[in-house]
Amino acid sequence: MYRKIISILVLVLSLCASLYAESDIRQEVKSDEGYAPWYTGPIVAASANCLFPGEWNVQPYLYLQDTYGMYDQHWGFHSVEDTFSLINTCSLQTGVTDWMDTIVNIGTSYNMKEHEQAFGFMDLGWNVGFQIVRQKKKTFIPSIKVGMSQLFPTGKYEKLSPKKHGIDAMGGGSYTTRFFFNISKVQYWWIRHPIAWRINLAYHHFTDVTVHGFNAYGGGYGTKGKVKLGNLFSSTFSFEYSFTQRWVLACDVVFVKGGKTKFSGNPGTNADGTIASNTLGRKWQVSLAPALEYNISENGGFVAGFWATVDGENASAFMSGVLSFTYTF
């Protein structure tokens, strides 16, 4: 059903944006080279351009998410009790030099499941990026940015309440180092409708996590041990299609591949006396995130969309409405 929802949403967004296209396009096309398109950026893929010194960007996100299922080790889907989450994140970015910038990410989550509720801060992120090259118009040269990010385990991940079904887990407990490679380019294949595309590749390395009791990886009564997480690779491809300078259709395609987790120590027990699990199998997850942008100026605008899983292995199934605002000053 969710695949049909995604298809319908993409169609509705396309039709809505096209209503504004013809009335604006004549004023915006200034020459045979086309207008300078404005973009907020898609929901998931990050920019391949560093900010310049003295520039700041702020971008809050609001997610209304329903985690409604799980994919097993054979890519089979199974429904689970819904977990509803209201997630608020915000990134603050600034340029350090002409070729380097840095970003800080913070966030909170309010979760609900089976009449239980939980609220808390998520893991804190810090990012530093380096500009290799900036795109040049009328050439094949794209923008390329590389860098690393560090995730600090500020969110709760262990000693969870047995009554809350895991919804009080707000983080992973690991110091996660992520190396990324971003590439992007604005193409003028159609003068009146430029297209911007982005490719993000990232490799995530996790430190081991010491856990007690119920935890983000399972656990139970008396659990005490260490979880060794498998490394993870993620890739995102996105495009932004300009109906006009202000109205843009965007879409992300996201692939995530993670290794198996291992556990050493006392696994603990479940309420029925069986041995608790603290491991996860090899993970695959594929998701789509179509969105519609409205840009108030070249400095920023709004983006609203829908992010949902398409398929997976040992991964959760979710659908999420997303709203964000970005502004550079």
Number of domains in the chain: 1
Q: Residue 8: count other Cβ atoms within 10 Å of its Cβ.
A: 11
Q: Token digits for 123?
A: 């893991």
According to the 3-state scheme, what is the secondary structure of 207-219?
Answer: CCEEEECCECCEC
Helical spans, DSSP H, in the chain: 2-28
* pLDDT at residue 24, rounded to an integer: 41
Query: By residue range, what is the domain housing residue 295?
Result: 2-328
* pLDDT at residue 17, rounded to an integer: 45
- The single residue listed with the structure tokens 């390395």 is 205
Q: How far is CA 210 from the centre of its chain?
A: 26
CATH of the domain at 187: 2.40.160.40
* pLDDT at residue 5, rounded to an integer: 44
* pLDDT at residue 137, rounded to an integer: 84
As a whole number of angstroms, the distance between CA 313 and CA 74 comes to 6
As a whole number of angstroms, the distance between CA 176 and CA 154 comes to 12
* pLDDT at residue 33, rounded to an integer: 58
| Residue 12, SS3 per DSSP | helix
- Which residues, in sequence order, are bridge partners of residue 176? 151, 206
* pLDDT at residue 35, rounded to an integer: 86
The tens-digit pLDDT sequence of the chain (329 residues) is 445 444 544 444 444 444 344 334 333 344 445 689 999 999 999 999 999 999 999 999 999 999 999 999 999 999 999 999 999 999 999 999 999 999 999 999 999 999 999 999 999 999 999 999 999 988 999 999 999 999 999 999 999 999 999 999 999 999 999 999 999 999 998 889 999 999 999 999 999 999 999 999 999 999 999 999 999 999 999 999 999 999 999 999 999 999 999 999 999 999 999 999 998 889 999 999 999 999 999 999 999 999 999 999 999 999 999 999 999 99
Annotate 133-172 with DSSP letters as a single string.
E---TTSS--EEEEEEEEEE--S--SS--GGGTTTT----
Q: Token digits for 309?
A: 């899983």
As a whole number of angstroms, the distance between CA 300 and CA 47 comes to 14
Of 323, 179, 180, 200, nearest to 255 by C-alpha is 200
As a whole number of angstroms, the distance between CA 231 and CA 224 comes to 22
